Amino acid sequence: MLFDAQIHDFLMWLPWVRARKEQASLRAVVEQRRRMLSPEEVASESAHIIEQIEQMSAFRDAKVVMMYYPVHNEVDLRPLLTKYAGQKTFVLPVTHRHSMEVRPYDGEDMMKKGRLGVPEPQTLTYNGPIDLMLIPGVVFDMHCHRIGRGGGYYDKFLSKHPYAKKIGVCYSFQMKKHSIPHTWRDHKMDRVVTPQRTIGS
């Protein structure tokens, strides 16, 4: 019986390993292309995405919005931080060795690079409800599956906030028409916004 259980666990483990390898390969190709974008392209494409987000009732009605600080030419949503300062509470990720928390954004003066080299708020931890999450990713598909940076921080954090609206953001070349490899640990987005369109409900 013990041997049968071990065989079962091994067979369940193989697809997970295969999916992770496929994700890593796809991530490397797409991330390299993203890093080649010019500052002008990043600004222009990000502005189109911001326009779509601002039109969403999920954003307009949200009191607490989780965002992120862009690195390596990720979609730049920072204009929202200044435009809606005082109207909404924005919280940004802070990563630890095996986990992630969020802290309120309180201006650039309160930002400091964290353990992964990403600027993080130096404010107190926020433990309250989050209405809307604007989430970066390296690759998405038409079913709103997401491949992130590979650390698993977001997926662990998202499991703790099942009722928050989850919106992924990416450039058009990061959106794949075919289904991307994913596992049971990978959280789907409710929507994905590209410069040209919004996918999902």
Distance of CA 181 to the CA centre of its chain: 17
Pairing state between β 64-66 and 139-141 = unpaired
Spans in the chain with pLDDT lower than 50: 2-3, 7-13, 16
Q: Which residues fall within 8 angstroms of residue 73, CB to CB, at 6 or more apart?
A: 34, 35, 36, 37, 42
Q: What is the pLDDT of residue 200?
A: 87
- Contact (Cβ atoms closer than 8 angstroms) between residue 74 and residue 149: no
Q: What is the pLDDT of residue 16?
A: 47
Q: In a 3-state reduction of DSSP, which class is residue 146?
A: strand
Q: What is the pLDDT of residue 13?
A: 44
Q: What is the pLDDT of residue 107?
A: 94
Q: What is the pLDDT of residue 79?
A: 98
Q: What is the pLDDT of residue 164?
A: 93
CA–CA dist 105, 54 (Å, integer): 19
List the domains of the chain with CATH numbers: 2-200 (3.40.50.10420)
- Contact (Cβ atoms closer than 8 angstroms) between residue 133 and residue 154: no
CA–CA dist 181, 200 (Å, integer): 18
| pLDDT tens sequence across 100-141 | 999 999 999 999 998 888 999 999 999 999 999 999 999 998
Closest CA to 177 of 195, 192, 155: 192
Q: Cα–Cα–Cα angle for 178, 180, 182, nearest 5°?
A: 150
CA–CA dist 168, 144 (Å, integer): 8
